[in-house]
Each structure stands twice: as structure tokens, then as C-alpha cells.
Structure 1
Amino acid sequence: MPREIITLQVGQCGNQIGMEFWKQLCLEHGINKDGILEDFATQGGDRKDVFFYQADDQHYVPRALLIDLEPRVINGIQNGEYRNLYNHENVFLSDHGGGAGNNWASGYHQGKGVEEDIMDMIDREADGSDSLEGFVLCHSIAGGTGSAEFYPSTAIVESTKMICFIFHSPLHVAN
């Protein structure tokens, strides 16, 4: 039986991929853009609790953390049609908001300064699970996103965007 899975959406690409992932999961499970279960989906035996939890007001909330060093994409999600779906406590935006500028070294350096805050968010979400099975990590390997070294015995499924042939930044090949 599948257990809870937490989705980590990191960086511009990870949050864009993650948003599409949640749109599809909502569609498949009969959950509308506000997290409310559609009438046709109330009789199903599917496991909504693997990727969602039910809030006190009975709406479904993704087991997801949205993480970025610059606010553009996450602000778009928070102001978009799915703005009521996510737990706003599970959103991390850097205080300085400048991002990593597609530079892995910059992202790594900035990440060290916010690592504890992000790990606290991950721990809080993991503690809210009855039996955590693993993580889905959505990110790009071409920007300022790094890799994971915590939760080494937990399954991590990655949705990695690899850019080929055309680079949007001269730094992509160095990352």
C-alpha cells in the first residue's frame, strides 16, 4: 500500500513542472483548483492521502513545498487560478529575492544560508505524515539548483529537466 509522498519543487523550472504535476493530480482525483472534492469523486477508493492531506476545513492540500530564491514563478502560482490549493506555510522565498542567476555556485552559496529554514519546513511536513514513503524532487540541472543529501534512506524520485543543445544562459554548460 502506498504511503505519503512529499513533493519538493525547487527553483523556476521545478515550480513550473510541479504546478503542472498538481494540476494533473487534481484532475485525476477529482479535486478542484481550490482543493474541494468534486461530487463525482466522493465515492472513489483512490488514495488521495498519498499526495494530499485534508485540512481542518476538509479541503485537500498538496504535500508539497515550493522553494525558490527569487519570487517570480512562485508569485505567479500564488496569484494564479490554483492560489487556494497550496499551504502557504510551505512556500519558501529568499529574503533578498535576487535568485541564483542560473549560477550553480551562487545557488549553492545562497542555499547554505537558508538550508536550516528549508529543512525545518521539510521536517514539519514529514512529521505530519503517518508513514512517509519518499519525496518527488522537481528541479532543473541547468540552473542554480543543487542535490539532496538528507533523508538518505528515503526514496527520492526526481523530475529533472535537462536542457540540450540550446542554452538560455552561457552559465548553463558550467552548471
Structure 2
Amino acid sequence: MTPLSGYSVPAAPAAGTARIVGVSLGHATLAEADHWIRSLSPAPVLACTHLVADPYPHVAISLLTANAFETAPELAVAATAAAFGTSGRAVRFPGVERLTGALTVSEILQRSSIARVEVLGGGLPDPATVVETGDFVRPQFRNGELVLVTTPAAGGTLIPFETRNPTPCCVSH
């Protein structure tokens, strides 16, 4: 990612007004950023993680919140990139707490702010298809909407593409 020249930071809104803010604390992993997001009280309405490269590879965060957060000057470009980004990985979003256990695609769409469920490389699933959530749902924020990417699983079900404990690449090497 390169510095966002040409972007100006909007004037601070009135106290208590929810807005998108970018935060960069130098989290090295998605799990670290997720943990920090889950520790916030009150919880933000929406929280997304963003992989950034400047000034070094790390995870920045965007939040829809009324709170203010400090970012070190050397991480300001990453925080701005997160705040103005058009994509991310949602950790907190309306309805996330209702996405547990086995749910149909239709139930996921009804219970949360997820706009669409996709099958990786396969398009849109039937609304009656069961998704085994594993109680861990991380949709992608793409151009203003949340999209849950899934992959086929046993018994004609689906599972979220991102799992809580992914198998490390080359685990047997």
C-alpha cells in the first residue's frame, strides 16, 4: 500500500456521533487485531481488519464508532488506509452474535447485516443450504456490503472460508 496522497481527513464530528475511524496499533496477526476489537467496550457497530504494508506489514483496523482512538504518527498512513478502504474483513457487524451453529443461507441473511453468501469459485448457494458456522463468521466488506465466502463441506453443507483455527500451510514440512 502506498501513502494516500490527496486524501484529507474530515473534520471531527460532534462528540457521540458514530463515524468510520482508522486505527493502527501495529498488530502482527489477524488474531491479535480480533482480540483487541473484542476487548472494546462499548463494542463498535462495525469493525474490520485490513492488511497493510506501510510502514511495515501489519493489521490496521476500521471502526464505526463514536469513540476516538490514538494511532502513533508512524502508523498514520495505515490508519488512514483502513478508514478510507473499500474492502476489509469484518469482525464486528450487526447480527454477528446470532450467527452460531448450523444455519441456512437464508437465516444468515435474515439474522445479520450480511448481504450475500457466496461459494468460493461457485457462485451463490441455494437459500436452504446449511452453513456450519463453527461460531466463527468473518465476512468480507466489499464496496459497502458484507459478503460471506464459504466453501463446500461434508454432507452438502458449507463452511465459512475463513476458520478459527486454519491448518498452517506446509504443516508436515
Per the normalisation by structure 1, the TM-score is: 0.27
More strand by share: 2
User: Could you say which structure has the greater relative contact order, defined with CA pairs below 8 angstroms and 6 or more residues apart?
Assistant: 1
Give 1 or 2 for the bigger CA radius of gyration.
Answer: 2
Per the normalisation by structure 2, the TM-score is: 0.28
More helix by share: 1
